[in-house]
Amino acid sequence: MIDGVVVSKPIIPILNNFLFDIQNGNLTISSTDLETTMTTSIKVDAKEDVSIAVPSKTTIELLKSLPDQPLAFSINAEKGFMEVKYSTGKFKLSIQKGDEFPRTPELEKTKSFSMGSAVLQKAIAKTVFATSNDELRLNLTGVYMQLFESSITFVATDANRLVRYTRNDVKPGVEDNFIMPKKALNLLKNSLPSDESEVSISFNKSNAFFSFGDFNLICRLIDEKYPDYKAVIPTENPNKLLIDTNEFNMAVRRISITSNKTTYQIRLKFAGSEVTISSEDIDYENEAQEKISCTYEGEDLEIGFNSKYLSEMLSSIGSSNVKLEMSQSNRAGVMAPDVVDEGEEILMLVMPMMLNN
């Protein structure tokens, strides 16, 4: 799992390596890109302590190709090689001394709390997809974590959509906030066990530290101010839709096939007990239309959305039916599941696109 930290073109060559650090019969393996560091520890039968850097890509490829079996490592740090023997053969790799590898950041003056692994994994999955890729707006490229005495909120937005996920069953016991970078969150999401084991979280003004089982992840926080996201969430939304999530999502995906491949715009027309979904690509003279049944309260309304954003949000909503509340065709639509797990709140917001009538 820790190989996900390694980048293809690192700033310094040593970052293409894992750090193997053996102390008192305990092997700690580390990888870093200077922003994020992951470590894992396992017990080994070692005759002496040693610290070496081994090529990450080659090591992973070789280990993946082997069946599950004991491995014997012979290390010659002075001559710069490591030999790995297995039941039917061996391979030899060049290595470097471990003292050239970047040190793991020390966390000082930290605040700490813990939460369930499955809950944290779900919170990341519900939000990280809505973060921005625009490096000019660095504060939007991560997930904003707001800590309160008796709840925690995760917020992500790319200025076209917004997701707010709150857990009222997590009690951090501290009031603070920070922005976690996307890469570290995706690594964390893919590494966390999907069970009720606890994840210990410590943080200060510059770094956050996550510890679970034999794994640790340390990442540098995004040192930016997060926008006032509450200001963009409309509160008066008299037009209310309730619709089957999967049926709605599949219709959106089908109709978007004929949408403009630059804007991905689709048109939604709400009237009575049905919604008409349509799209057109004037350049290629493609168009499509589909009607599906729904429960709708409010005035007839036409509104345009980016189909990719809408579909991603529907795929993440996590309930059989979805609620969509709107006020006007030029105001954001507020989306939420009709049923949530105990202790959680989910709100999603998608900005409209101007329709050409």
Lowest mean pLDDT among 94-108, 238-252, 265-279: 94-108
Where do the domains of the chain lie? Answer: 2-100, 111-230, 233-350
- CB within 8 Å of 209: residues ≥ 6 apart: 107, 110, 200, 201, 202, 203, 216, 217, 218
In angstroms, the Cα distances linking 219 to 15, 117, 208 are 15, 18, 6
| Residue 127 vs residues 77, 153, 156, 248, 313: alpha-carbon distances, Å | 45, 10, 6, 21, 10
Q: What is the rounded CA–CA span in Å between residue 98 and residue 101?
A: 5
Spacing of C-alpha 207 from chain mean position? 17
pLDDT tens figures, 103-135: 888 878 889 999 999 999 999 999 999 999 999
The top-level CATH class assigned to 233-350 is alpha beta
Are the C-beta atoms of residues 279 and 265 closer than 8 Å to each other?
A: yes
Main-chain dihedrals φ then ψ at residue 314, nearest 5 degrees: -65, -35
CA angle centred on 237, ends 232 and 240, rounded to 5°: 130
pLDDT of residue 195: 87
Whether residue 295 has pLDDT greater than 90: yes
Instruction: For 99, list phi and psi in degrees, rounded to 5.
Output: -70, -10
Sheet strands side by side (includes 89-94)? 72-76, 81-86, 89-94
Closest CA to 218 of 61, 319, 108, 62: 108
**Computed over its alpha carbons, how large is the radius of gyration of the chain?**
25
Helix, strand, coil content of the chain in percent (nearest 5): 20, 45, 35
Question: Do the beta carbons of residue 41 and residue 30 sit within 8 Å?
Answer: no
Confidence of residue 1 (pLDDT cuts 50, 70, 90): low
- Cβ(63)–Cβ(35) under 8 Å? no
Q: How far apart are CA 263 and CA 5, in angstroms?
A: 33
Q: Report angle CA 76, 58, 80 to the nearest 5 degrees.
A: 20
255 closest CA partner among 331, 308, 296: 308
Q: Once rounded to an integer, what is the mean pLDDT over residues 280-300?
A: 93
pLDDT for 225 beyond 90: yes
CATH architecture for the domain at 111-230: Roll (3.10)
111-230 matches 2-100 in CATH topology: yes
At residue 46, the pLDDT reads 84
pLDDT for 8 equals 74
Quote the crossing angle between the two packed helices 307-316 and 245-256, to the nearest 10°.
160
The fold adopted by the segment(s) 2-100 is DNA Polymerase III; Chain A, domain 2 (3.10.150)
The percent of residues in the chain predicted with pLDDT above 70, rounded, is 99
139 DSSP assignment: G
> Which of 37-46, 175-184, 236-245 shows the lowest per-residue confidence on average (mean pLDDT)?
37-46
The runs of H, that is alpha helices, within 207-306 are 245-256
Is the whole model's pTM more than 0.85, yes or no?
A: yes
